[in-house]
A and B are shown apart, each in its own frame.
Chain A
Amino acid sequence: MAERVVLMIGTRKGVFVAESAKTRRSFTLRGPFGTGVAVYSTLIDTRGTPRLYASSCNPFFGMKVLRSTDLGKTFKETKSAPAFPKDDGRALANIWALETGAGKKELLCGVEPASLFKSGDGGDSWELVPGISNHAHSRQWQPGAGGMCMHTVLRDGNRVHIGISTGGHYLSEDGGASFTASNKGVGAGFTPDPYPEFGQCVHKIAGHKDAPGRLYMQNHGGWAEWDGPGGRRPGIGVLRSDDHGKSWRSIAKGLPSDFGFPIVVHPHDPDTVYVLPLEPATRTCPGGSPAVWCSENGGSSWKKLAHGLPKKESFFTVQRDAMDIDELAKPALYFGTTTGQLWMGRDGGEDWSCVFDALPPIHCVKVATV
C-alpha cells in the first residue's frame, strides 16, 4: 500500500523533491539539488528500495547523473555519466530521458545528440546502444528547437519505442538490438513531403501496460494553415496507434490546438489520455487561459479541464516532460510551467490547485507513490 507521494521537479536551477501523504493535502519541498544546474530528466525507480535519479546538465563541466537512495534527502553523482566512445566524434550535450530497463538495476538514458545509453548497475557505468544510436538514419536527424534530443524511451516487453526530435518514432521488436523508423501517418509540417519516412518532430509518446499495442503521441502540430507544397496538414499533432506504433492516426479533432508537448495516459484506464494544448506560434496556452484537455474514449472526443486554473492572462508553457499523473485510486495530474508554478489536478484533473508558485523555470515533473 503506497503511503507517500513523491514528486521530482527538474528546473533550470536544479532538482527539487516534494513529498506528501497520499491525501496530498500539503507537500514538503526539498532542494534544490545539483544547485544552479539545469535538470531536464528525472526518474523515480520504485523497483525495490526507491532510487531517485536526475540528469544535471552543467554548461561548464558537462553532464552528470545524480542519484538519491534516501528518497531525495541527499543526492550524489553516479560514478560516471553516459559518454560517446572517444573515436565516435559526437559529444554529449544533454540528457533528456531516464527510464528503467529490463534488468533489475538496468537504466536507459536518451541523450542529445539523439542516442541511447544503457546502464546495468544503476547508473555507475554506461554503454552506447548501437542499434539506434548508430542507426543508418542517425546522421540525418536534425535538431528541433530543443536540440537533437532522444526524449522518449518506452519499453513494452521486447519492444522499445524511441521518440526523437527531430527524427521521429523508431521501433525495436528485438529488445533494442535493432530499430526501424515507424512513422506511417506521422506528419511533418516543415518538409515538403508531409509524411516522410523519418525526420518528424515527435514531442512525446505515451502508452499503457494494459493496452500494449496502443500508443499516444504528441507530435509537432500547428500546420493546419500551411498552403505551400504538400498542402495543409491539419491534426497531425495528436495521434494514436493501435498496432504497436506501426501506423498512426489523428485524434486531434475537438482540441483547441494540436500543438503541445506532453501527453499522459491515465494509470488505470488506457482510454483516458491527457494533453495540454499550446498555441504553435507562442507555445503558450491559447488565449492566456491554461487548460488540460482529456479524452475518455481514446481520442474520439475531448473535454476541457480548467477548474481552478487561471481563466486569463496566464501564458503558461509546459514542456514535454513537465506533466505526469500519480497512481492512486483517484489519480492526480501534475504539471510544471516555465514560469515556475507546479499545479496539481485532483480527480484526474477535475480540480486544480497551485502547489508551488515560484520555483525556477520547470523542465520536467515526475511522480510516484512509494
Chain B
Amino acid sequence: MNRSGTSITIFIPGPLREYCQGASTLPSSAPNVRTALEELERNHPALHRNVCDETGAVRRHINIFVNDSHMRDRDGLETALLPGDEVIILPSVSGGREWQSV
C-alpha cells in the first residue's frame, strides 16, 4: 500500500488489453513498481507474462514509465509510487530488429 492508500493508475497499451478483459487502465495501491508488477502477476497473469519474462525481468523491449520518467532513470523496479502516480507500460521502438534466423 502506498502512503495514503489511494490508487495509482497503470496504463495498458492497446495490444495487451485482451489480456485484462479490455481494460485500458488498472488501479493499484502498490508502493513501488516491483509490487505493482507482482500485483499484475497475481491478478492478471497472462498480462504479466507479456510484460515480464519467467525470471521476472521486464522484457527487453518493454518500457515502464512512472509519470514522465522511465523507471531506469529513477530507481528501477524500486521506484516509489505516490498517490496519483501513473505507471505507463509501453512497447519500445527497438523491437523490430530481425532475429538471427538460420
A244 within 8 Å of B (CB atoms): no
B3 within 8 Å of A (CB atoms): no
For residues 49 through 67 of chain B, which have their beta carbon under 8 Å from a beta carbon of chain A? 49-51, 53-57, 59-62
Contact yes or no, A59 B53, CB < 8 A: no
Contact yes or no, B95 A94, CB < 8 A: no
Of the 9-residue stretches A80-88, A98-106, A264-272, A325-333, which lies at the interface with chain B? Answer: A80-88
For residues 76 through 118 of chain A, which have their beta carbon under 8 Å from a beta carbon of chain B? 80-81, 83-86, 88-92, 94
Interface of B is mostly: loop
B91 within 8 Å of A (CB atoms): yes
Given contacts A86-B56, A91-B54, contact A62 B102 (CB under 8 A): no
Complex alpha-carbon distance, A6 and B100, angstroms = 28
Complex alpha-carbon distance, A40 and B16, angstroms = 22
CB nearest neighbor in A for B97:
A59
B98 within 8 Å of A (CB atoms): yes
Residues of B within 8 A of A92 (CB): 53-54
How many residues does chain B have at the interface if contact means C-beta atoms less than 8 Å apart?
25
Contact yes or no, B101 A62, CB < 8 A: no
Of the 9-residue stretches A67-75, A141-149, A344-352, which lies at the interface with chain B? Answer: A141-149
Contact yes or no, A62 B100, CB < 8 A: no
Contact yes or no, A59 B102, CB < 8 A: no
Contact yes or no, A59 B96, CB < 8 A: yes
Q: A60-B59, A80-B46 are in contact. List 4 more A-B contacts (CB 8 A).
A: A12-B101, A59-B61, A91-B55, A147-B99
For residues 39 through 81 of chain B, which have their beta carbon under 8 Å from a beta carbon of chain A? 46, 49-51, 53-57, 59-62
Residues of B within 8 A of A147 (CB): 99-100
Complex alpha-carbon distance, A57 and B61, angstroms = 13
Contact yes or no, A146 B91, CB < 8 A: no
For residues 280 through 331 of chain A, which have their beta carbon under 8 Å from a beta carbon of chain B? 283, 317, 319-320
Contact yes or no, A57 B16, CB < 8 A: no
Residues of A within 8 A of B53 (CB): 62, 91-92
Complex alpha-carbon distance, A261 and B101, angstroms = 11
Given contacts A59-B96, A62-B50, A83-B54, contact A146 B102 (CB under 8 A): yes
Residues of A within 8 A of B16 (CB): 61
Residues of B within 8 A of A317 (CB): 102
Which of B54, B96, B101 has most chain A Cβ within 10 Å?
B101
A155 within 8 Å of B (CB atoms): no
Q: Would you list the 9 A-B pairs with minimal beta carbon distance, nearest first?
A: A91-B53, A59-B95, A61-B50, A146-B102, A60-B91, A83-B54, A60-B61, A60-B95, A84-B54
